[in-house]
Amino acid sequence: MHKKWFLVLASATAGASLFLLPELTHFFVFSFLLPIFFGSLIGYRLSFREGFVWGLLFFGSSLLGILVLLHESAEGTWRYLGYGFLVIYFALYTSLWFGASDYLINFFSIKNVYKRAAVWFITSGIYFFLVHYYSLFIFGQEQGYALGNPLVAAAINPMMQNILPIIGTMGAWCALVAVQLALSLLLTKMKRAMVAIFILILYQFITAGGWWGREPYGASLPPYLNSLGYLCAPPGEHEYPWDIAQEISHQLFDLRQRHPEVSIILMPESSCKFALNKYPRIIQSWIDTVLHEDCILCIGSHRQDENQLFNCLYCINIGPIIFTYDKQQPIPFGEYIPYPWNKIKSVEQLFLNNKKSFKAGCTCASFTLPQFTCIPQICYELYFCSSDPGKNLAKNVPVLAVTNDAWYGKTPHFQRFLLLLARYRALEWGRPIMYIAHTGGWWLEPHGKMVELKN
């Protein structure tokens, strides 16, 4: 095997570990591109083929959550082809990245290592921009694949917690590429292997938090945080609306008994998998027995308006419904089939499995509760929204993100990765996030702190 393949495999494996073991390997975000940059600078040809293999390994790991999702939700053996298609599709982006770099280096006969580094810097920036912001266009979405962003794992990293809020995602990527190219250039000048190894170890020690390991700073926590409580959704064996409602009543009563100071109770997306607005007696029973006048329940459920179905966040008090927010971006192939795929009946059967598709809701920037204003986001909207949803609001206005991480069944790794992505969004937007999932509720500070909500 040619030595360049060891460099390709080492780079792809380090990148894959960012998704498989982010708690242990988050510092690899500062070095996983080093092997391919170093290989190219010393003269190895890394072209379309090497890029495709790199992409298969890298995206094969980052898309494992999609494989689990298809296994849990879709039907038929054909459902696994969706995972293979996505891996190959995204691997084509990396093959074009490698191929474009190789073409430019050979077309202009670039021998100078600094000029080669400049080529890789430009192509790396274009590659990340396309994948992160526009790669889902074939699914009818003007968005990128956020779950494949290697920077997400660095939300754990103390160094990234300090620089990401300042320079943003694109700036952080360019800075990481520039640093790794600079280190690759330094290594090409090294005559002694031991010196090069020492520099690599020292570099990795610094980026792993060895000199940045202090507790992330931030503003003091808001006073209303003490009044927030969290409840997980009822177990999946409850199928009938009144059984679910009764279980929620028991949980609400128990929470209020243990934490009488709680006045706002938050529950995740799809806590009730039925159209809650069609069951006013259920809502009234919660008000009469638990909520009364001094407590508000924010709960994820469905909402039906004539023949249209919406994924909705309800705020319930003595009103009884004081506010509803409909999800504006349903999950493609999970909650609806985008055009032109919706014209193929077999695709609709494969992914929706005879379930009614959700419609997109209308725009709603924020809503106000008695103690604070927040920005609602439901699941997919948080993960795939690359820009701050509250651009015109003060940075201390939090995002209330309710999500259904129960999609992944009994695979806590992917549920923890979704929490990590939410933590990354808080850093990226410089805005606190109330993250409410089926596995827990957290207050995520824009400087890296996490506070678990009362449950």
**Do residues 21 and 32 touch, judged by C-beta distance below 8 A?**
no
Write down the pLDDT at residue 213: 45
Q: Over 60: is that where the pLDDT of 164 sits?
A: yes
Q: Over 90: is that where the pLDDT of 160 sits?
A: no
Compute the distance between CA of residue 229 and CA of residue 451 in angstroms, rounded to an integer.
Answer: 12
- Confidence class for position 111, pLDDT limits 50, 70, 90: very high
Task: Report the share of the chain in percent with pLDDT over 90.
Answer: 35
Burial group, residue 85, by CB count within 10 angstroms (0-12, 13-18, 19+):
exposed
| Nearest CA among 275, 270, 285 for reference residue 233 | 270
Write down the pLDDT at residue 211: 43
Q: Over 50: is that where the pLDDT of 91 sits?
A: yes
**Do residues 271 and 301 touch, judged by C-beta distance below 8 A?**
yes
Mean pLDDT of 276-295: 86
Domain spans in the chain, listed from the N-terminal domain onward: 3-210, 223-328+363-452
Both tokens assigned to 354: 């005879």
Write down the pLDDT at residue 231: 86
Element (H, E) at 451: strand 450-452
**Do residues 383 and 424 touch, judged by C-beta distance below 8 A?**
no
Q: Over 70: is that where the pLDDT of 216 sits?
A: no
- Confidence class for position 46, pLDDT limits 50, 70, 90: very high
Tokens 């095997």 appear where? 1
Q: Over 70: is that where the pLDDT of 265 sits?
A: yes
Write down the pLDDT at residue 218: 47
Both tokens assigned to 410: 């009994």
The region of weakest confidence among 120-124, 174-178, 237-241, 370-374 is 237-241
Mean pLDDT of 350-373: 78
Write down the pLDDT at residue 165: 82
Task: Report the share of the chain in percent with pLDDT over 70.
Answer: 88
Contacts of 213 by beta carbon, 8 Å cutoff, 6+ apart: 158
Write down the pLDDT at residue 385: 79
The top-level CATH class assigned to 223-328+363-452 is alpha beta
Both tokens assigned to 304: 């039906």
- Confidence class for position 195, pLDDT limits 50, 70, 90: low
Q: Over 80: is that where the pLDDT of 409 sits?
A: no
Write down the pLDDT at residue 70: 72
Residue type, 98: F
- Confidence class for position 140, pLDDT limits 50, 70, 90: confident
Write down the pLDDT at residue 177: 95
Contacts of 183 by beta carbon, 8 Å cutoff, 6+ apart: 31, 34, 199, 200, 203
Write down the pLDDT at residue 214: 45
Q: Over 90: is that where the pLDDT of 12 sits?
A: yes
Across 90-104, 207-221, 243-257, 400-414, the highest mean pLDDT is recorded for 90-104
Write down the pLDDT at residue 124: 97
Mean pLDDT of 214-236: 71
Long-range contacts of 280-285 (CB under 8 A, 24+ apart): 280/320, 282/241, 282/242, 282/245, 283/316, 283/320, 283/321, 284/320, 285/245, 285/249
Mean pLDDT of 407-414: 69
- DSSP code at position 332: B
Q: DSSP labels for 24-71?
A: HHGGGGGTTTHHHHHHHHTT----HHHHHHHHHHHHHHHTHHHHHHHH
Question: If you average pLDDT over every residue of the chain, what do you get?
Answer: 84
Write down the pLDDT at residue 356: 81
Write down the pLDDT at residue 439: 86
